[in-house]
Structure 1
Amino acid sequence: MADRITPLRARQGTVLAEMETIVNTAANDGDREMTAEEASRYDALRAEDDRLTANIAREVDLERRQASAARPIAPLPGAYGATAGTAPAQAADKLDPGVKFSRFVRAVAATKGHGGMRAVADYAEKTWGSAFALQAADNMQESVDVQGGFLVNEDYSTDLIDALRPAVAVRRMGAVSMPMPNGNMTHRKKTATTSAQWVGERDPIMPSAPSVGVLKLSAKKLAALVPITNDLLRFNSIRSDALVRDDVVREVGIAEDQTFIRGAGSAFAPAGLRYMAAAANIFAATATVSVQGVRSDLSKLRLGLSRNNVPMTRCGYIINPTLKEFLEQLQTSTGALAFPEIAQGRIGSYPFAETTSVPDNLGDAGNQSEVYFADFSQIMIGDAMQTTLAVSTEASYVDNEGKTRSAFQNDETLVRVIEQVDIGTRYDAAISVLTGAAWFPGAVAGQ
């Protein structure tokens, strides 16, 4: 069955957002009644929303019934791809983030997508025992074999997101993950703050309201191909679970990291911090590299937030490893380390994350980088909580060196992971960017 629910929910999110806009327009205009044109449009949208709700409910019911029919009621001796017998019952272990998702990947890969959820669940029963099977059964029944792969349910998708958190700099620094069950999410965003007043007794208080905009997140598809050696899939241990997880997390994490930081944005991909930052918060680094110049540049980044009354509750930096080395070695005129706190994971009083997703070869001379400072409590990541898995032992792919490799010839299984995600900010001024930072070891004369 093709995935018909996601586009239905995406359309419903658009319809609801337009309905909200019509209501807010009338409310913000003196709380007036809707015009005839607005009322007509609202009624049409309401009817469409009712129709979409009914269609989604029907599709969800069908998925539930199909998944329920595919669920094994009891262990099946000699089922697909396995010999008779199951792994013995054992105490349930607390699994590290991503391991549960990794096991689902391994089960789909081992059954090569044949036999649907029945085969996948049966493989899990025989490989990891009844304790894991009992833990996973209720979650697996919601996962559906769809055209082009397995639609993984929210529990397994959340497990993947938990594993991505330390691998993706923006997530690691505390960006807020918000579920997008309908593929869309709408939030208020502040573009300016309220202004309070001092007044005398019985003096009227002038109305004041924050300038607000709308933060709209919509699911955008991120796809990654992960080649996994079949030797690893054959070997059953928690270590092989972790290795499969790490392979998936690395590929998906790199794509997220690069886009969340420097993505230019398009109809199909989100814009990153670099292009979400307000124009007034993009600063050019001081041309002459010195301790004072570096301190001044970092100060500009922080002031870009604080002077705009950004809450600054979860602030931090994102930098390239080359810049970290530079700051770690930078010395004052007395020979003291300018930033000794780097060893404790801080720049000044704020934490930092390092990632090669911030390039260090920018500029005409190829020796410049960027520094990002943000209040990550205001950065919102919309996670649709739906991941699609597909596997192939015959497909070919292009490796990092540009060479075409055959999964069959190399005894590999090619796993395709598709997730749906978006990113935005609740404050236009919650992000500052320093460009043209030619900070590299030895950049300061005499050091």
Structure 2
Amino acid sequence: MPKIEELRRQRADVNAKVQALANAENEAGELTSEQLEEFEQLSTEFDTLTKQIDRLEAMERMNAASAEPVQSPIAQGVKSAAVHVKPELKQYPGAKAARIAMSVAASKGDIGGAVKFARDEIGDQDVAMAIETSAGSGGALIPQNLRDEVIELLRPKTIVRDLGARVIPLPNGNVTIPRMSSGASSSYVGEGSDVLASDATLDDVKLNAKTMITLVPISNQMIGRAGFAAEQLFLNDMISSMASREDKAFLRDTGAGDTPTGFAETARQASRVLPWSGAETIAEIDAYLDSLMLALMNSNSLLVQPGWGLSPRTYMKLFGLRDGNGNKVYPELANGQLKGYPVRHTTNIPANLDTSGAGNNNESEIYFADWNDVVIGESGGMTIDFSREATYKDGNGQLVSAYARNQSLIRVVTEHDIGFRHPEGLVLGTKVTW
């Protein structure tokens, strides 16, 4: 019977041929009859190999479970285990993506070595196969299903995703979505008359993939030590860094330097800015929040999923507001709501802006919109690579040499963009001093 490693190599070869056919179909639009026949044969062969591998793996597990200690021929009277069984791996969202990264790091970027590490040291055959079948010139490509786990971990850490932005694929790195400034149009017509899209401004939302690179430094002493703690350390650092940079881009980047054009810039271009002015009294703060809500209502937004984005300072100001009787003005904030709509806060909304030019540096912004009209396009690719010589910026913005620090850098490359189907429905509050 063939060894299990040989069967896995055969299955990887079959998968590579299937992917070649898939690429051919994407380029030509359809497959020829010969290619379709080849696809069916490859599918059958892949299923057959998978069943053989499953049987061999089951045999290995049963053999390990039923193994008994044997008498050592060297030390008589001392018994040693005939089979060493690895403890069962913990499975959790993002685990396999983290194991791909740790395997690539342990092998110093060598894909063949990463496959061996994942299979022999980590003991995760799915990860070994994923690395083996999706290697690219830029590193190891994380398969779509594993990448989706990472994206789901991002959702609660980014206010744009958490407030309800829709995610769509970016085929070939770009997509165009038709839009009308006031949404879909309906009208009454008589028999034989044409339907007119009256009072609607036609436009397109064009999304083009922007490349985001995340560098995760990790101690060389941790590399090669597979386990839950090492995986969690890498995974948490990666998710936190990706979430912070993504939120900043989607909220405040201007489109310069190959970055997305975020909420604030789009709102300014659409003249959807309401500056704060007045005394910081309960009545005036409440009236200002109402004016932001009214601006959204007057935009003819469908109000499917409105929500607030605040800086931590503004959030805590509203959280602590009390009336003359000592009652909280907005008690619903404890449940993540403000005036009936979801509210989130992030340090990516600064509290040290100076939009007035007076040098106060104490202003912030409030983001209010129907987040159902916000679209995030994702290319579907996430690549992991490795370096021991690269440099990165630490928390103080200082350049650090990974080599000098006895560290390594795991590089995660993703592509995405953001678009707004109804820019008139964005409301940006500025010059907020509370």
Tell me whether the two structures share a fold, i.e. TM-score over 0.5: yes
Bigger radius of gyration among the two = 2
Partner of residue 408 from structure 2, selected from 395, 413, 419: 413
Q: How does 1:155-170 map to 2 (within 5 A)?
A: 155-170=145-160
Structure 1 unpaired stretches of 5+: 1-49, 76-84, 440-447
- Report Cα offsets for 1:376-427 as digits up to 9, x if no partner: 1111111111122221123333323243433233221111222111000111
SS of the equivalent of 1:311 reads: coil
2:169 counterpart residue number = 179
Q: Per-residue deviation at 1:264?
A: 0.9
1:396 matched to 2:391: yes
1:16 counterpart residue number = none
1:191 matched to 2:188: no
Amino acid at match of 1:370: E
Q: Per-residue deviation at 1:86?
A: 11
Distance verdict in 2 for CA 1:350–1:336, change over 3 Å? same
SS of the equivalent of 1:429 reads: helix
- Report Cα offsets for 1:318-368 as digits up to 9, x if no partner: 111111110111122333211111111111211111100000011231111
1:304 matched to 2:295: yes
Q: Per-residue deviation at 1:195?
A: 5.9
Amino acid at match of 1:383: E
Work out the CA distance in 1 between the residues paired with 2:299 and 2:98.
Answer: 43
1:219 counterpart residue number = 209
Work out the CA distance in 2 between the residues paired with 1:87 and 1:208.
Answer: 72
| Native 8 Å contact 2:210 2:416 kept in 1 | yes
Q: How does 1:42-57 map to 2 (within 5 A)?
A: 53-54=27-28
1:326 counterpart residue number = 317
Between stretches 297-306 and 311-320, larger displacement belongs to: 297-306
TM, length-normalised to structure 1: 0.72
Amino acid at match of 1:163: L
1:106 matched to 2:102: yes
Work out the CA distance in 1 between the residues paired with 2:218 and 2:425.
Answer: 40
1:286 counterpart residue number = 277
Q: Per-residue deviation at 1:178?
A: 1.1
- Report Cα offsets for 1:90-111 as digits up to 9, x if no partner: 7675422x22211111111110
Partner of residue 116 from structure 2, selected from 113, 118, 122: 122
- Report Cα offsets for 1:73-99 as digits up to 9, x if no partner: 999xxxxxxxxx998477675422x22
Amino acid at match of 1:109: A
1:349 matched to 2:343: no
Amino acid at match of 1:112: K
Distance verdict in 2 for CA 1:315–1:127, change over 3 Å? farther
Work out the CA distance in 2 between the residues paired with 1:412 and 1:194.
Answer: 54
What percentage of aligned pairs have identical amino acids? 28
SS of the equivalent of 1:233 reads: coil
- Report Cα offsets for 1:286-305 as digits up to 9, x if no partner: 32221121112211222222
Amino acid at match of 1:207: L
Q: What number of residue pairs does the alignment pair up?
A: 362
Work out the CA distance in 2 between the residues paired with 1:121 and 1:355.
Answer: 39
SS of the equivalent of 1:166 reads: helix
Partner of residue 228 from structure 1, selected from 180, 197, 218: 218
Amino acid at match of 2:249: T
1:256 matched to 2:249: no
Distance verdict in 2 for CA 1:438–1:231, change over 3 Å? same
Amino acid at match of 1:357: N
Q: Per-residue deviation at 1:52?
A: 9.0
1:27 counterpart residue number = none
Structure 2 unpaired stretches of 5+: 1-23, 36-41, 47-52, 58-81
Work out the CA distance in 2 between the residues paired with 1:310 and 1:86.
Answer: 66
Distance verdict in 2 for CA 1:253–1:292, change over 3 Å? same
Distance verdict in 2 for CA 1:327–1:310, change over 3 Å? same
| Native 8 Å contact 2:114 2:128 kept in 1 | no
Q: RMSD value over aligned CA atoms?
A: 3.3
Distance verdict in 2 for CA 1:434–1:122, change over 3 Å? same
- Report Cα offsets for 1:39-82 as digits up to 9, x if no partner: xxxxxxxxxxx99925999xxx9xxx9xx9xxxx999xxxxxxx
